[in-house]
Chain A
Amino acid sequence: MSEQNQDNPGILAKMRTYASGHGNPNMVRLYTIIYVLVITAFFGGAVSLLNSALIKYKLENEKVSQQQVILKLLGLMKEDQDLSAKDTASIFEDKVETYTVEGRRMKGTDGKSAEYTYYGLKGSESGLYVIPIWGDGFWGLIVGRLAIDTSKEEITGIDFVRHEETPGLGGRISDEEVRQRFVGKSYATKDAEGLRIDLVAEGTAGDSKTKVDAITGATGTSSGVEKLLNAGIDLFIEIRKGGEK
């Protein structure tokens, strides 16, 4: 900067004049536009550069947290357990069987279409699976993982890995307390409306095996979750019937 100052004392002085609003009005306007463009490009570029340098760590962290969601749903990891990235990967490798279904698509956590994938326990006949569920919520895409016991036809756990619902209202679907409402519900039969799991007004589900308390004040989110939950289970049952074991 100082070197430039010695070479062209006129340019910097001129820039300061234009910045203070003096001089030819058209030049002042032009200077303002160029200044904003240059400064935006500079700071935007700096941020992009840092982002592209560190994005691989972020993606790695996301992968680990996805794996941990599945481990928790399969009962291989406790809810409040702290597991390193390395341990997560090795437990996942040793104990989790990954099934991909050719020709079937699902929405991934990044919102993009991906090959339908579900998870089970390696070398076990327990009938416990973690299946993908996805669909529209109130504000945007909701992607979740549902743990089901196919021998009892019951839900054993649920987690939402991506959603844009209102914090404190629809966003509560990620809360432990709300997620627990789904546990132990049976998806064996369909009701008159074709629903296996019914989300009903908060506080009215009681001990019902197929009804789940929705979230008061988040009707949009609740009906979205009801829809995507039933659709997800239907699709999984259809895929399993198709002969893929």
Chain B
Amino acid sequence: MSPPPASGMSVLKRMLWEENPVFVQILGICSALAVTNLVKNTMVMGVGLIFTTALSSFTVSALRSYTPRRVRMMVQILVIAAYVIMVKIFLDAFMPDISKQLGAYVGLIITNCIVMGRAEGFAASNTPGKSFIDGLGAGIGYTMVLLIIACVREPLGLGTFFGFRIEAIEEWTRWNVMVIAPGGFFMLAIFIWVARYVNEEIDRRARAGNNCDHHEPKKK
């Protein structure tokens, strides 16, 4: 992992792309496969995760100097669980249908490695403000990838988008495989492949550019 960046903007950018939790760190895959067959559910799940990572990172960071080292992980889990249960209570009260469809996955945000990873990996040793942005970035990075996958799976699998029928593909033959778990595996793998290819391409160009400008010897 690269050293913690200095400014808030670079903290955010790092989590969105360079160290994106889903396609670089390969975390949070379970829910990424489970909820991405409907764009609407993905959106709600993403918002729930952004809320949880941002606020739990902030809280863990704010408490970091006063939390005894031996119990720090228990305290992190406690903080995360509290925020997740709040999300669950909120969904039960105001979005009962979505809450029912997401089922166990909202509760399982508690064990989502992204949240715990950011709390332990970043928030435990950085200021609350930066930790909040870091958590926010991790959440948005996760949501972004899930939304892209959902935007492919739902139209291909069900012929709808955000629950609305797409007129242009009225005669669409549904790809059932896109709705079930294997569709999630295929899409996620394809996405990681493309994202890594793009990443390498950017790196290669940057290196090639450097070589031309400074005539540095190529490191092996």
- Which chain A residues border B79 with CB–CB below 8 Å? 43
Contacts of B69 in A (CB 8 A): 19-21
Residue pairs across A and B with CB atoms within 8 Å: the count is: 65
Given contacts A39-B78, A43-B79, A54-B93, contact A32 B86 (CB under 8 A): no
- B74 interface hit (Cβ, 8 Å): yes
Q: Is the CB of A58 within 8 A of B65?
A: no
Interface residues of A, CB < 8 Å — how many?
28
> Number of residues in B with C-beta < 8 Å to the partner?
24
Cα–Cα distance between A167 and B67 once the two chains are bound (Å): 38
Find chain A residues with CB under 8 A from B70 CB.
21, 32
Bound complex: CA of A157 vs CA of B113, how far in Å? Answer: 42
Bound Cα distance from A53 to B71, whole angstroms: 31
Whether B71 and A32, one on each chain, are in contact in the complex, defined by CB atoms closer than 8 angstroms, is: yes
Interface SS of B by simple majority: helix
Establish whether residues B75 and A28, one from each chain, have CB atoms under 8 Å apart when the complex forms: no
Does chain A have a CB within 8 A of B96? yes
Bound: A54/B90 CA distance, A: 7
Structural contact, B74 and A36, CB atoms closer than 8 A: yes
Q: Which of A16, A47, A54, A57 contacts B65 (CB 8 A)?
A: A16
The answer to whether A32 touches B68 (Cβ under 8 A) is: yes
Closest residue of chain B to A61 (Cβ to Cβ) is: B96
B82 within 8 A of A: yes
Shortest Cβ-Cβ A-B pairs, 6 listed: A57-B93, A43-B82, A61-B96, A54-B93, A32-B68, A58-B92
Q: Write the residues of chain B forming the contact surface with A, with a CB cutoff of 8 angstroms.
A: 63, 65-71, 74-75, 78-79, 81-82, 85-86, 89-90, 92-94, 96, 103-104
Interface residues of A (CB under 8 A from B): 12, 15-16, 18-21, 28, 31-32, 35-36, 39-40, 43-44, 46-47, 50-51, 54-55, 57-58, 61-62, 65, 167
